[in-house]
Structure 1
Amino acid sequence: MNAPAPPSPSFPPRGGAGLIASFRHAWAGLIHTVIHQRNMRVHLVSAVLVGLVGSGIELGLAEKVTLIFCVLLIFFAEILNSALEHLVDLAVQQFDEKARLAKDAAAAGVMVLALGTVVIFAALLVTNWHVVVNSGPRIARQVALGLPFTACVTLLVLPRSRPAWVDWAAFVLGAALLGLMALRTASSVFTALTAGLLGVAMAAARTRRSEALGQKKTGSSPVSYRA
């Protein structure tokens, strides 16, 4: 008679259950994707630019909803693509052509959404070109404040080792610039979106530093940041 198979090891606890814990796990998944996926970092910086345009130009409700939906849809697709990559790597421990095709197909879906968003964004600008022309001073102000703000967000999401004070300086400067832009914003919704993206970038910078410190203490190899 064959001996019964040993029970499978249970998954480690995830730090609690309930609605708050679910939000915490989801937030951790978002930050992990920003840290370890280069394309997600590109999407985040691009979303900042969309937020700056939306807060600097008077757009209709339909245009605002369309842009916000496109940004969130791309984020969703990139997070789903990252999850699929992890699942494929977990199931296939060696090179397999079907695994490569699965990853390529998921990446193609994100690319199609990104290209579609660019087309939609361009179409909205062309359709509302008269608004763009009449918003010259506001656009100049957005450029003067928005470019250094975008540089602050880009610095926060860059996977480079740097002192903690550099990240905090970038975050404080970005918050100050955003506060100045909020004084004469064309859309508080896009301003709030941009503020949320700044918070995500700062959270990613702090989590990346915590991971690096943990690796130094344990002596493990550094984590590679994938494209």
Structure 2
Amino acid sequence: MNARKRTVVDALNDAVDGIAHAFGRERNMRLHLLFALLVIIIAVCLNFSKQEILLLSTIISFVFMAEMFNTAVEITVDTLRQEMHPKARKVKHISAGAVLIAVINAVVAGYILFSRHLALSWEAGISRVKQSPAYVSFIVLLLVLILVIAIKMYLRKGTPFRGGMPSGHAAFGFSAWTMIAFISKSTLITVLAFGMAVLIARSRIKRHIHSLWEVASGALLGIFVTIFIWHIFKT
């Protein structure tokens, strides 16, 4: 019997599963993620240019990639070798050295990028974020995505991009509706956005991808996260 043909969604789920395994296995990965999110938020508040944000994101990605390759090497060596061979130990040391080089590069590049902005007023940076719905929207959607994947990983239900608790589509749909309700002065646009969010949620139930409870949980997550972040940046 022929195996089911793999789809793009299958490949994405496998990739995210690998990332999740690395985060679950390596404490350093979790620390890197926390630090990376903090750095990105500070960079936005300090009014980094698009080019600087792109460079910063690339540097952070290299650190994650190096750490994940190091994790893959460690797992491979531990699987193939029951006893620690001197050469196997060297392989681990080399992969750990690659992580160290990536981290040192990130620190140096980060210092260069941030040093030219340190003279700027922090209050001015925060004020700019508060006055720009686009920045706040980006932070909201990023946080919703992280929370949806984290909850699915914790509950071990569904895959990161399909099924499970909570519904990511519902979370994004109702998060977008909540942001539009805050930004738009048109009642019609707000009502239409709500209708779109409901249709998205309904489609997940109709296609038997999510239960009503999973969709409702996703919708509430999207709404409350949006209200919380909006309250922080807009008050």
Which of 53, 63, 78 in structure 1 is aligned with 2:67? Answer: 78
Within-5 A mapping of 1:28-177: 28-130=17-119, 133-139=120-126
- TM-score, normalised relative to structure 2: 0.56
Tell me the matched-pair count. Answer: 156
Which of 190, 206, 211 in structure 1 is aligned with 2:155? Answer: 206
Secondary structure (helix, strand or coil) at the match of 1:94 reads: coil
Secondary structure (helix, strand or coil) at the match of 1:54 reads: helix
* C-alpha contact 2:20 2:153 (8 A) present in aligned 1: yes
Assess, with a 3 A threshold, how the Cα gap between structure 1 residues 22 and 83 changes in structure 2: closer, same or farther: same
* C-alpha contact 1:51 1:190 (8 A) present in aligned 2: no
- The amino acid that maps onto 1:99 is A
* C-alpha contact 2:46 2:125 (8 A) present in aligned 1: yes
Secondary structure (helix, strand or coil) at the match of 2:48 reads: coil
Matched residues, percent identical?
25
Secondary structure (helix, strand or coil) at the match of 1:59 reads: coil
Deviation at 1:195, TM superposition (A): 5.2
* C-alpha contact 1:35 1:204 (8 A) present in aligned 2: no
Q: Deviations over 1:114-160 (max 9, x none)?
A: 12111111111112334xx2342544999xxxxxxxxxxxxxxxxxx
CA RMSD for the aligned pairs?
A: 3.3
Q: Deviations over 1:176-223 (max 9, x none)?
A: xxxxx7965658667655554445544443349xxxxxxxxxxxxxxx
- The amino acid that maps onto 1:27 is V
Q: Which moved more, 1:100-109 or 1:194-203?
A: 194-203
Task: Determine if the alignment matches structure 1 residue 26 to structure 2 residue 22.
Answer: no
- The amino acid that maps onto 1:17 is R
Secondary structure (helix, strand or coil) at the match of 1:95 reads: coil
CA–CA distance in structure 1, aligned partners of residues 102 and 29 of structure 2 = 13
Secondary structure (helix, strand or coil) at the match of 1:129 reads: coil
User: Relative CO higher for 1 or 2, CA cutoff 8 Å, sep ≥ 6?
Assistant: 1
* C-alpha contact 1:74 1:113 (8 A) present in aligned 2: yes
Secondary structure (helix, strand or coil) at the match of 1:58 reads: coil
CA–CA distance in structure 2, aligned partners of residues 141 and 206 of structure 1 = 38
- The amino acid that maps onto 1:136 is E
CA–CA distance in structure 1, aligned partners of residues 16 and 28 of structure 2 = 18
Question: Gaps (5+ residues) in structure 2?
Answer: 158-235
Secondary structure (helix, strand or coil) at the match of 2:84 reads: coil
